[in-house]
Amino acid sequence: MDKRLFFSATQRNKDCIGDVLSQIIKNNGSILEIGSGSGEHGVAFQKRFPEIIWQTSDPDLMHRKSIISWIEYEELNKKMPQPLDLDVENIPWKIPLNLAHSLQGIVSINMIHVAKWNCTVSLFKGAGKLLKKGQFLILYGPFKIGNKHTSQSNYLFENSLKLQNNLWGIRDLKKVTNAAKKNYFFQENIIMMPANNFIIIYRKISY
Ligand SMILES: C[S@@+](CC[C@H](N)C(=O)[O-])C[C@H]1O[C@@H](n2cnc3c(N)ncnc32)[C@H](O)[C@@H]1O
């Protein structure tokens, strides 16, 4: 049965995120995506970067079913592995050995503001244990800069998030980067993206 979910923001941002990724990722190995949601990014990036293996993951069963449906719909079954049931708070993450050995980096899109703060901390802890020196962790989403929203729309968006769950919220970039540093990631680049979003590239500086 077709269990595909459709996230409107995901359809809007997949091309511009893919443009940035195309400058960073190499044409071999695999990428682990954390909090893949519907799977629309996963299949889009697998098609855009056919030389690599795009490994999706999500702790939400409905999302994993959607990812499976998207993989089937796009006829990528032979190329893409099934989504992992991965919650960043369950450290150490259970990752297939072949994935761990072939990883070039981790990507997480619009996850950390739709989860409690400890998920950001855990994301860097788990990634820090998995990734090796020189490998990347890329975040996409809205951030506060200097503890301030970068737009009125982000302020309104955060209010709507907090109505759903008071522990969710747009994170301050400095606080996120401090969590990164504690796990030996340095902030390599900040890229402004459409609709008041950013891509933050973190690079592991030690083993
Ligand atoms: C707003 S959705 C974004 C989905 C997708 N990345 C996108 O941009 O379309 C946030 C995703 O983060 C996942 N998520 C929430 N808490 C998580 C956790 N503790 N570990 C991993 N993923 C989590 C949710 O299940 C959801 O799929």
Percent of the chain past pLDDT 70, that is, above it, reads 100
pLDDT at 107: 98
Q: Whose CA is nearest to atom 23 of ligand 1?
A: 35
pLDDT at 102: 97
Q: Whose CA is nearest to atom 13 of ligand 1?
A: 35
Mean pLDDT calculated for residue range 5-15: 96
Mean residue pLDDT of the chain comes to 97
Question: Is residue 138 over pLDDT 80?
Answer: yes
Enter the tokens of residue 80.
Answer: 């893409």
Q: In what order do the strands lie in the sheet with 53-55?
A: 53-55, 30-34, 103-109, 136-141, 197-204, 185-193
Give per-residue pLDDT as tens, 53-98: 999 999 999 999 999 999 999 999 999 999 999 999 999 999 999 9
pLDDT at 95: 95
Tell me if 110 CB under 6 Å of ligand 1.
Answer: yes
Ligand 1 center from residue 59 Cα (angstroms): 8
pLDDT at 206: 79
As a whole number of angstroms, the distance between CA 104 and CA 137 comes to 9
Q: Whose CA is nearest to atom 27 of ligand 1?
A: 37
As a whole number of angstroms, the distance between CA 51 and CA 28 comes to 6
Tell me if 63 CB under 6 Å of ligand 1.
Answer: yes
Enter the tokens of residue 110.
Answer: 């619009």
As a whole number of angstroms, the distance between CA 195 and CA 154 comes to 9
66 close to 72: Cβ distance less than 8 angstroms: no
Probe ligand 1: pick from 7, 58, 106, 119, max atoms within 8 Å of CB? 58
Q: Which amino acid is at 113?
A: H
Question: Is residue 207 over pLDDT 80?
Answer: no
pLDDT at 169: 98
Question: Is residue 46 over pLDDT 90?
Answer: yes
Question: Is residue 205 over pLDDT 90?
Answer: yes
Give per-residue pLDDT as tens, 143-168: 999 999 999 999 999 999 999 999 99
Give per-residue pLDDT as tens, 182-193: 999 999 999 999
Q: SS3 string of the chain?
A: CCCCCCCHHHHHHHHHHHHHHHHHCCCCCEEEEECCCCCHHHHHHHHHCCCCEEECECCCHHHHHHHHHHHHHCCCCCCCCCCECCCCCCCCCCCCHHHHHHEEEEEEECCHHHCCHHHHHHHHHHHHHHCCCCCEEEEEECCEECCECCCHHHHHHHHHHHHHCCCCCCCEHHHHHHHHHCCCEEEEEEEEECCCEEEEEEEECCC
Q: Is 192 exposed, middle or buried (0-12, 13-18, 19+ CB in 10 A)?
A: exposed
Mean pLDDT calculated for residue range 12-37: 97
pLDDT classification of 203: cutoffs 50, 70, 90: very high
Q: Whose CA is nearest to atom 15 of ligand 1?
A: 115
